[in-house]
Chain A
Amino acid sequence: MRYFFTLMLLLVPILGVWTFVEADRWQLWFPQNVSSFGGEIDGLFNLILYMVGFTFIVTELALAWFVFKFSANRPGKAVFTHGSHKLEMIWTAIPAVALLFIAFSQMETWAKVKFESNFPKGGKYTKERPIAELWASQFDWRVCYPGDDGAIGTADDLERSYEFVVPVNTDIVFHLRSRDVIHSFFVPEFRLKQDALPGHTIPVWFRAEKEGIYDLVCAELCGWGHYKMSGRMTVVSQAEFDKRMADIKAEWFSNGKEQGQ
């Protein structure tokens, strides 16, 4: 019995590590990254993975080993000790340093992605002149591009539902808004998530580095249709983007505004 229970406890770190090692092969790992900061986020994830993985293996093995060793039928009593001040100091100080290291290693990337003071400046799109407003509502996404005047909220705005087209290798800033409840903008390939809050306009930035079509996922429960609140994030070359915008404009003004509805 003792061998059996030890084996069970041992299987936790063994299979646990194995599944993490094999996950990539089973396609149970990050989807490809296409944003400029996504690589950093994956790196930070992996940094923590190695640190907690090490702790995980050591503690789980120690647990299994102790259970095995000290459940053996031995003569005499257990070791009589109430603890050790020195050990307590060691296993307080080392994790404390490691944890603080983790915390400080995160700050730069976090500030880069979310601090408004770090938003792209001087490029084509800025916090003040976003590429578009992205409206979330139950249960769809609508993009509102400024027309020729570059300003949103004017008569020449272009509206489009479902698909958000952006140019590749450009710093994009858009405004995220919600018409009803809370939703969340999530593109797994960008490693980017931001809730859309009704009553607020939240600027979001990213830079996509690879052309392609990606799923735009709603990541905050927004009602019965939450699961199907999908959108499409289309990243195209600048030339293609200009063409698309011209198409959208032509379509929008030929069919009247109802088309976008």
Chain B
Amino acid sequence: MNISSAALPAHDPAVDAPKPHHAIYDYDSGPPVNRGKFAIWLFLATEVMFFTGLIGTYIVLRMGAATWPDPADRLAVDITALNTFFLIVSSATMVKAVERAMLGDNPGLIKWLALTVLIGATFVGIQAYEYAVLIKDGNLPDVDIFWSTFYAMTGFHGIHVAVGVIWNLCILIAAIFRKIPQEKYMKVELAGLYWHFVDLVWVLLFTIVYLM
């Protein structure tokens, strides 16, 4: 005989049955940040790696190419520079919106958030226009590796901006219906973190795709 055959303790309803009407115990541990904020930082880390993959691809392909066209010859750098400026401004308006939300200033929140949504939408619009012109001229993604990478990088970023605009729009609508009281300012802040991230990525992409 060995220990393996030791009998398991049997079920005893007196101690083993769940206690009726117990409460739910929700603890808080770790660094003193909000759970949602913690999670959004993790999410942004995945986004950083996603764009690292794309930018890495771009760099490898560009380094490996025999020749690489001067972006200025192929792209409308000045319009996009203006667009970049818009996006940076929208980051500033987003900061304002978060600030208002923290203070519980609903009209202020609505004002600044609406402005952010508007500028964001303008950015997407200008990018769509840029695409339309390029495509009309026959510059499709399958023409050469320059265009392949151009569309992939700016396209993925564009999708991210569009998602940000929709996200902000949802919050704006909620704010209009007075669903964002002061204690729920975190909803605005989370969207704001994402928005700043998207903005930052664009500055990087603009520099390497358009300027370098």
Contact = CB atoms under 8 A, between A and B. Distances in A.
A73 B2 CA distance: 5
Interface of A: 1-2, 71-73
A2 B2 CA distance: 7
A2 B6 CA distance: 13
Contacts of A71: 2-4
Interface of B: 1-5
B63 to A, nearest CB: 15
Contacts of B4: 1-2, 71
Nearest to B64: A199
B97 to A, nearest CB: 50
Interface of A is mostly: loop
B4 to A, nearest CB: 6
Contacts of A72: 2-3
Contacts of A1: 2, 4-5
A85 B87 CA distance: 56
A72 B3 CA distance: 7
A71 B3 CA distance: 7
13 contacts: A1-B2, A1-B4, A1-B5, A2-B2, A2-B4, A71-B2, A71-B3, A71-B4, A72-B2, A72-B3, A73-B1, A73-B2, A73-B3
Contacts of A73: 1-3
Contacts of B2: 1-2, 71-73
A72 B5 CA distance: 12
Contacts of A2: 2, 4
Nearest to A1: B4
A73 to B, nearest CB: 5
B156 to A, nearest CB: 26
Contacts of B1: 73
Given A1-B4, A1-B5, A73-B1, 10 more contacts: A1-B2, A2-B2, A2-B4, A71-B2, A71-B3, A71-B4, A72-B2, A72-B3, A73-B2, A73-B3
A79 to B, nearest CB: 15
Nearest to A5: B4
